[in-house]
Amino acid sequence: MKLEDVTQILSLAFTNAILEIFQTTVQIPVKETEDDCLPSGDMSLVSSIGITGGISGNVSVCCSKESVAKVISKMLGTEVTADSEDLKDGLAEIVNMVAGSTKNKLEVTRFLINLSIPTTLMGNQICIEKSKNTELIEKDFVNDLEGVAIKTYFAFKIVPDEEAKKAQEAIANAGNAELNEMESLMKLSEGAALAELAEETPKDDTPPPPTQPPPAS
């Protein structure tokens, strides 16, 4: 598969994931824009989550503290200020949802992926640049009415088929191990519940009625 085709597939999945997450979960519909939404001068945050599997790289979301505060306020249904300690955790949750939705959309392709734990940084004029042998998809989104602007990145490198196969097998094995562990815990819980129920069930200590002698013939 050509690099251009791969980039188009990833870009489409990534873009649709962002639009859907902000439309349904965040409830601040955004639209893609040609304007650069990278915060300049203001204190900003960037949250990234690593990707392994058929492709390796990371998904990142970057925006100003004010935009993050507005997004989290909408999600929580309560006012969150730009100096709140919840900003980092809130943006980490956003990038986690975006990456998770992107992952689900890629399940119909050969690019099965696994996600790491998000990492969030805060600073002035934070940006992400393309590194050697890595492709970079940049997308900017805005909601002018809410005053929200976000910049997103999808940095990726295609993993050779053999390495991708091993990574996908590792992901599948990890999933099977987790499923087996859950089944074992369910069985233990069920056994404990039955034992507890048996202990709570009152015993009937009433002696049986006396045996009546057979009638005389």
pLDDT tens string 104-129: 999 888 788 899 999 999 888 777 87
> Tokens 């939404």 — which residue?
37
d(CA 18, CA 25): 10
Percentage of residues in the chain having pLDDT higher than 70: 73
The more confident residue out of 38 and 175 is: 38
Same domain, 97 and 180: no
**CATH number of the domain that residue 33 is part of:** 3.40.1550.10
- The encoded tokens of residue 78 equal 């309560």
Helix 87-105 with 3-20: angle, nearest 10 deg: 130
d(CA 97, CA 114): 13
Same domain, 104 and 44: yes
Task: Give the sign of the dihedral formed by CA 113, CA 128, CA 74, CA 19.
Answer: negative
Same domain, 38 and 66: yes
Q: What is the DSSP track for 22-43?
A: IIIIS----EEESS-----SSE
Domain count, the chain: 2
Q: Looking at the domain assignment, is residue 119 inside a domain?
A: yes
Report how far apart the first and last C-alpha atoms of the chain are (Å, whole number).
Answer: 98
Q: Rounded to 5 degrees, what are φ and ψ at 154?
A: -130, 95
pLDDT at 171 over 70: no
Q: Looking at the domain assignment, is residue 217 inside a domain?
A: no
User: Could you tell me the pTM of the whole model?
Assistant: 0.73
- The encoded tokens of residue 183 equal 């089944």
- pLDDT band, residue 162 (cuts 50/70/90): low
AA letter at 153? Y
Same domain, 110 and 172: no
> What is the domain range of residue 191?
161-196
pLDDT at 54 over 90: no
Q: Looking at the domain assignment, is residue 202 inside a domain?
A: no
Residue 18: which of 157, 152, 155, 156 has the closest Cα? Answer: 152
Same domain, 59 and 116: yes
Same domain, 113 and 172: no
